[in-house]
Chains A and B, each alone.
Chain A
Amino acid sequence: MNHPTIHRLMKEHGKTINFLGVIMSTLNPKMEEKERCAKMVAQMAVNLGADGAIVCKEGYGNPDVDYIQTIVELEKAGVKTVGISDECTGRDGASQPLVALDERADALVTTGNVSELYHLEPMPVVLGELEALARDGNSGGWEGCIEEDGSVWMENNGYFCSNHISGFSKKTCAEF
C-alpha cells in the first residue's frame, strides 16, 4: 500500500517505535455514530497497548468532526496523538479552519487550504474541455472562472484531493 504515513512508520518500526498497525474507522453522518466510532477507535488503540497514534483524515467539512473527536477520545484514553488534515479557511483565509475544534488536539499537521484561490496561466495544450470546470458542478469552479485568454481562476477544491491528507503533501498553512 502506497501510504506515506504507513511507510514512514514502518521505517521507524523497531528503531524509535513499535508500529502496532492500522485501525480503520468509518465516516458516519450521524453525530452519535461519529462519537461511537471515535470511542471504539480509542478503545482498540488502548487494547493494543498504543502509547501514540496518528489520525489521518479523509475529506473535509463534516469529517472534521470525526477527526477532532477521534483525536480527543485517544487523548482522553492517554494515547498521545498527532493529526494530519487540511483546512478550509475561505478565499480570504479568515474562516475557522475546521468545523470542530478542541484544545486537546494540540499536535496537528496541516496540508493546505481547500478554499485557497489559484490563478492558472493559459496553457498551449488543453486536454479535455476547460469549460467543464465552470459547468459540470465541480467544486472549486464557477460560472465565469475561465477567462477568455484561457487562464483559469479556481479554488484548491477544483484540484480534488490535492492536499494529500494521507501525508504526501509538501504544503502547510501559516498565519498572515
Chain B
Amino acid sequence: MLKAIHYINQFFGQVGGEDAADYRPTFHDELVGCSKMLNEMMDDVEVTHTIVCGDNYIASNTEEALKEIIDWLKGQEFDIFFAGPAFMAGRYGVGCGTVCKAVKETFGVPVITSMNEENPGVEMFHKDVYIFRGGRKATFMREDLQKMASFAQKIARNEELLPAEIEGYFPRGIRREIFHPEGIQAADRAVDMLLKKLKGEPFKTELPIPKREKVPVAPPIKDLSKATIALVGSSGVVPFDNPDRIQTASATKWGKYNIAGLDHLPKGKFKTIHAGYDPEAICEVPDRGMPVDAMRAYEKEGKIGKLHDYYYVTVGTGTTQAYAAKFGREIAAELKEAGVDGVLLVAT
C-alpha cells in the first residue's frame, strides 16, 4: 500500500472563495473535501493527509508557502503527491503546478495533477508534472479525480506506464522508443501514410513538429481621425496603490484603469510596479510607461478620433507565453465589446 498526500485550494478545502484566497497552508490528517473521494477510488494507494492553501497566498508568497509546505512534508512518509484537479481555474492550476514541481524536486516522488487544456498551468508545468487532461469546471470532479487515481494505482502496482496520449496526461516533452503497438514495420507505416496523404485523407505523423502560431495582421484602420484608440502595455504602470495587486513579475493578471478627463498620468497618483527595470524614470513621469500625454495631444490635433477611456496594463517580466496569450484574448474581447478600433501596444 503506497501513501499519498493531496494538495487543494481554499475553495475545495471548504475555507471560502475569493475572500479566503490569502489563506495560509494548513495540514489535515482528517481528509478534507475531494481528498476523501480520491482516497475511495484507490485500493493500493492511501491518501493520508490533505494540504489546503489559498490560491493568492501561493501565488504572491511563493517562497514562503513552499517552505511551509515542504518543511511539513519532511516530517511525513509518502510515495505519491496529488494536487487539484484545477479545471480552468488559472491561479489554482499554477498553484498545483508550483507545489508539485517543488515536491518532485525535493522528494523525487511521482506528482500528479489535472487541469483543463486552457489552464495556463498546463503550459507552465507540463514538463515537470503529470497533468491529466481535465474538464472545464468542477462538475468534472469525479472524472478528473478518477484519471489521477487510476494512474496512481498503476504506479502502485508497478504496471507499465504507457505513452501520454494513452494514459491521458499532457506530454512532458519526453519522447521515448517503444515497440509499435500493432507491430507494423516502418516501411508499411510509411506507404500507408503516403497513400492517405495522396488521397487527401487524414493521416497522423509519428513525429509532430511543434507549430509556431502565426496571427494574421488586422486590416488597416480606414480613417484614423474617426477611430477610437486604446492604450495597452506591459509596463506595470498602475494607480499608486496597485488596486488589483498585479504581481511585480510573472504576472497572472492585468488591470484596466480609467483615464477619462486626464491629460496625463500624474506623478504620485500613478507609478510602475514592474520589477524588470529601474522604476525611477517611470515613477517620475508615469506617461513614459503608458503615454497618455502623447495620445491626448494627438486627440487634440485630430490625428486620432478618441483615446479610449481605459488603459489596460500588466507586467511583462517573467510572464509566460500562456498567460500573455490569455491576457491578450481577454483584453481583446473587452476592447471589441467597447467598440475600440485600434490599439497602441506600448513596448517597455
Query: Taking beta carbons and an 8 Å cutoff, which residues of A are in contact with B?
Result: 4-5, 7-9, 12, 16-17, 51-54, 80-84, 87, 89, 92-94, 97-98, 101-103, 105-113, 116, 156, 164-176
A111:B209 contact, CB within 8 angstroms: no
A176:B174 contact, CB within 8 angstroms: yes
Q: In the complex, which residues of chain B have a beta carbon less than 8 angstroms from the beta carbon of A16? A: 195
B179:A171 contact, CB within 8 angstroms: yes
Q: A107-B197, A109-B206, A175-B163 are in contact. Are A169 and B185 (CB under 8 A)?
A: yes
Q: In the complex, which residues of chain A have a beta carbon less than 8 angstroms from the beta carbon of B194? A: 52-54, 80-82, 107
Query: A-facing mask of B160-181, CB < 8 A → 1, else 0?
Result: 0101110000011111111110
B198 CB–A CB distance under 8 Å: yes
Bound CA–CA A103/B165 (angstroms): 21
Bound CA–CA A107/B140 (angstroms): 35
A107:B205 contact, CB within 8 angstroms: yes
Residue of B nearest to A172 (CB): B180
What is the minimal beta-carbon distance from B183 to any residue of chain A, in angstroms?
Answer: 5
Bound CA–CA A167/B193 (angstroms): 13
Q: List 30 A-B contacts (CB under 8 A).
A: A5-B186, A5-B190, A17-B195, A81-B194, A82-B194, A82-B197, A87-B207, A89-B174, A89-B175, A92-B174, A94-B173, A94-B174, A97-B207, A102-B209, A107-B205, A108-B205, A109-B186, A109-B189, A111-B186, A167-B186, A169-B186, A170-B184, A170-B186, A171-B177, A171-B186, A173-B178, A174-B163, A174-B176, A175-B173, A175-B174
Q: 8 Å CB contacts to A: which residues of B190-244? A: 190-191, 193-195, 197-198, 203, 205-207, 209-212
B333 CB–A CB distance under 8 Å: no
- Interface size for B (C-beta < 8 A) is 37
- Majority secondary structure of chain A interface residues (helix, strand, loop or mixed): mixed
Question: A97, A156, A167: which contacts B187 (Cβ < 8 A)?
Answer: A167
Q: In the complex, which residues of chain A have a beta carbon less than 8 angstroms from the beta carbon of B163? A: 174-176
A173:B174 contact, CB within 8 angstroms: no
A164:B207 contact, CB within 8 angstroms: no
Bound CA–CA A122/B21 (angstroms): 57
A103:B174 contact, CB within 8 angstroms: no
Q: A80-B198, A176-B172 are in contact. Are A108 and B207 (CB under 8 A)?
A: yes
Q: In the complex, which residues of chain A have a beta carbon less than 8 angstroms from the beta carbon of B212? A: 103
Q: In the complex, which residues of chain B have a beta carbon less than 8 angstroms from the beta carbon of A113? A: 175-177
Q: A97-B207, A102-B209 are in contact. Are A173 and B177 (CB under 8 A)?
A: yes
Bound CA–CA A157/B275 (angstroms): 47
What is the minimal beta-carbon distance from B193 to any residue of chain A, in angstroms?
Answer: 5
Bound CA–CA A17/B161 (angstroms): 39
What is the minimal beta-carbon distance from A59 to any residue of chain B, in angstroms?
Answer: 16
Q: A97-B207, A105-B209 are in contact. Are A5 and B177 (CB under 8 A)?
A: no
B159 CB–A CB distance under 8 Å: no
Bound CA–CA A116/B179 (angstroms): 13
What is the minimal beta-carbon distance from B127 to any residue of chain A, in angstroms?
Answer: 8
B188 CB–A CB distance under 8 Å: yes
Residue of A nearest to B178 (CB): A174
Bound CA–CA A8/B50 (angstroms): 58
What is the minimal beta-carbon distance from B250 to any residue of chain A, in angstroms?
Answer: 23
Bound CA–CA A111/B172 (angstroms): 20
Most chain B CB within 10 A, of A12, A82, A105, A171, is at A82
B205:A93 contact, CB within 8 angstroms: no
What is the minimal beta-carbon distance from A83 to any residue of chain B, in angstroms?
Answer: 8
Question: B127, B178, B207: which contacts A171 (Cβ < 8 A)?
Answer: B178
